[in-house]
């Protein structure tokens, strides 16, 4: 609005001067453009779509028009006993594909998820560590675990120590 | 839970309480079911089927094929029209098949397709407002079993769409048991057409008859029929 008011401030006489001709042209062009924009805005129409239809676009239903995907139908070409080796090769690859799919599906069903894996690994750590321990250490650990109820003094006693021979 | 899975529905019936997928909260509705705003309406008479976790469809008897995008069908080339072939697939309208949609085809190197050939092709475009369009390639540009099938050999016959689904279902024993004893090649289109090529004419006829006879048989009956056929076949030879 401020621009328009500033435009209208220029008087007719000023605009008629020769050096103002270019800006007069520009202003006319702008005016025409504005008019056209207004026309478009007025004529522009929007479909009166009810609100419900908008939700339909993110509907909870997916339409699947083919039986073959609903029923997992097999590939339509087959050959038996080497009648058409090319087709038999295709059949084999289709079979493998479906087997792989089945296997991955089963895997995801009965497989171990991360949490379970972590829990199991936690309990495994002790067992694995044992494997890398030296024989003596392993033995000690066994003793420790078997005689947990015994007093700590006992354990200390059992720990082997270098016994200094007597000087005699 | 839907307790009416496996019962008969008629067009116009509504279905409620379908199982949603736990992850996405979506329900997949297959052929025979239509969505009208938020209700599901049955559009074909038949039995409601369900597959875990969230797929529902109507299993109906049908002989007329309606093209569906992505399905593989057996068609007969009826005309060459410039860049495309017209192919009869048994639908309401003939489908078009571009000569460029074959494996290895270029503008220079046209595929060898004649009027009267049988083609095994996949629907690229199939909707109610447009002419259906076929292609003989998969997404990677390979033929993967599609294209012209057995010129001057084999035999094609039509059967109901149910039978097609039955013999192609993973649990069906018919083709496996027939294949145990006989050497033959078969191509099954979702449009109800079956093409068979056996070692001899007798062999081909036998397989064709076995398939059409199996429409209303259960697994044990099919096995019995196949073993009977195997015995007969040895005698013929």
Using the predicted structure, report yes or no on whether residue A79 has a pLDDT greater than 60.
Answer: yes
Q: Which residues of A touch B144 (CB under 8 A)?
A: 90
Alpha-carbon distance of B146 to B120, in angstroms, equals 5
Q: What are the sequence ranges of the domains in chain B?
A: 8-59, 72-148, 155-236
Q: Which residues of A touch B184 (CB under 8 A)?
A: 79-81, 83
Integer CA distances (angstroms), B29 to A78, B18, B126, in order: 29, 10, 18
The pLDDT-based confidence of B234 (bands split at 50, 70, 90) is low
Q: A78 vs B179: CB contact, 8 Å cut-off? A: yes
The residues in A 106-145 lying below 8 A from B, measured between CB atoms, are none
Q: A72 vs B169: CB contact, 8 Å cut-off? A: yes
Pick B184's closest partner by Cβ from A64, A65, A83.
Answer: A83
pLDDT at res. B23 = 76
Q: What average pLDDT does the segment B175-181 reach? A: 87
Q: What is the ipTM of this complex?
A: 0.82
Q: What angle do CA B76, B77, B78 make, to 5 degrees?
A: 105
Is B155-236 the same fold as B8-59?
no
The pLDDT-based confidence of A156 (bands split at 50, 70, 90) is low
Pick A78's closest partner by Cβ from B51, B70, B175.
Answer: B175
Q: Looking at the domain B8-59, which fold is it?
A: OB fold (Dihydrolipoamide Acetyltransferase, E2P) (2.40.50)
> B155-236 domain in CATH 3.30.1370.10?
yes
pLDDT at res. A39 = 86
The residues in A 77-106 lying below 8 A from B, measured between CB atoms, are 77-84, 87, 90, 98
Using the predicted structure, report yes or no on whether residue A166 has a pLDDT greater than 60.
Answer: yes
Torsion angle of alpha carbons B84, B89, B92, B96, nearest 10°?
-10
End-to-end Cα, chain B, rounded Å: 55
Strands across the sheet containing B55-59: A61-63, B27-29, B55-59, B46-51, B8-9
Q: How many CB atoms lie within 10 A of CB B194?
A: 22
pLDDT in tens, A113-154: 777 888 888 877 777 777 777 777 766 666 655 555 555 556
B96–A contact, CB cutoff 8 A: no
Q: B30 vs A52: CB contact, 8 Å cut-off? A: no
Q: A71 vs B51: CB contact, 8 Å cut-off? A: yes
Q: What share of chain A is helix, strand, coil (3-state, %, to 5)?
A: 70, 5, 30
pLDDT at res. A1 = 47
pLDDT in tens, B80-112: 988 899 999 999 999 999 999 999 888 889 899
The residues in B 140-179 lying below 8 A from A, measured between CB atoms, are 144-145, 161, 165, 168-170, 175, 178-179
pLDDT at res. A4 = 52
The CATH number of the domain covering residues in B72-148: 2.40.50.140
pLDDT in tens, B114-152: 999 999 999 999 988 999 999 999 888 888 889 999 888
End-to-end Cα, chain A, rounded Å: 118
pLDDT in tens, A46-65: 777 666 555 545 678 888 89
Q: Which runs of consecutive H residues, i.e. helices, occur in B70-216?
A: 161-168, 174-181, 201-213
């Amino acid at each position: 609005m401020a621009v328009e008011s500033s435009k209208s401030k220029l008087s007719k006489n000023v605009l008629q001067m020769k050096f103002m001709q270019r800006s007069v042209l520009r202003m006319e062009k702008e005016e025409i453009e504005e008019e056209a924009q207004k026309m478009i805005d007025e004529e522009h129409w929007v479909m009166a779509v009810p609100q419900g239809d908008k939700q339909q676009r993110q509907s909870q239903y997916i339409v699947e028009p083919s039986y073959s995907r609903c029923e997992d139908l097999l590939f339509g070409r087959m050959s038996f006993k080497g009648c058409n080796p090319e087709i038999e090769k295709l059949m084999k690859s289709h079979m493998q594909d479906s087997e792989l799919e089945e296997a991955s599906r089963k895997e995801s069903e009965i497989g171990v998820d991360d949490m379970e894996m972590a829990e199991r690994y936690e309990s495994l750590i002790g067992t694995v560590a044992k494997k890398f321990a030296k024989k003596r250490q392993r033995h000690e650990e066994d003793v420790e675990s078997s005689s947990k109820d015994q007093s700590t003094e006992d354990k200390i006693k059992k720990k082997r120590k270098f016994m200094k021979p007597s000087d005699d | 839970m839907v307790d009416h899975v496996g019962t008969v529905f008629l067009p116009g019936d509504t279905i409620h309480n379908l199982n949603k997928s736990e992850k996405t909260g979506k329900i997949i509705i297959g052929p025979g079911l239509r969505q009208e705003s938020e209700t599901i309406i049955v559009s074909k008479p038949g039995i409601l089927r369900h597959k875990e976790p969230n797929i529902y469809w109507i299993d109906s008897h049908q002989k007329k094929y309606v093209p569906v995008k992505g399905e593989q069908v057996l068609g007969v080339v009826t005309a060459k029209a410039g860049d495309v072939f017209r192919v009869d697939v048994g639908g309401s309208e003939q489908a078009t098949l571009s000569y460029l949609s074959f494996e290895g085809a270029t503008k220079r190197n046209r595929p060898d397709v004649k009027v009267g050939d049988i083609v095994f092709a996949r629907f690229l475009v199939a909707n109610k407002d447009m002419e259906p369009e076929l292609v003989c390639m998969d997404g990677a540009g390979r033929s993967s079993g599609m294209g012209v099938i057995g010129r001057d050999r084999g035999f094609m016959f039509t059967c109901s769409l149910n039978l097609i689904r039955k013999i192609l279902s993973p649990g069906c024993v018919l083709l496996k048991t027939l294949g145990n004893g006989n050497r033959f090649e078969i191509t099954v289109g979702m449009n109800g057409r079956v093409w068979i090529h056996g070692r001899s004419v007798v062999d081909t006829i036998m397989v064709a008859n076995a398939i059409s006879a199996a429409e209303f048989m259960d697994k044990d009956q099919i096995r019995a029929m196949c073993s009977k056929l195997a015995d007969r076949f040895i005698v013929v030879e």
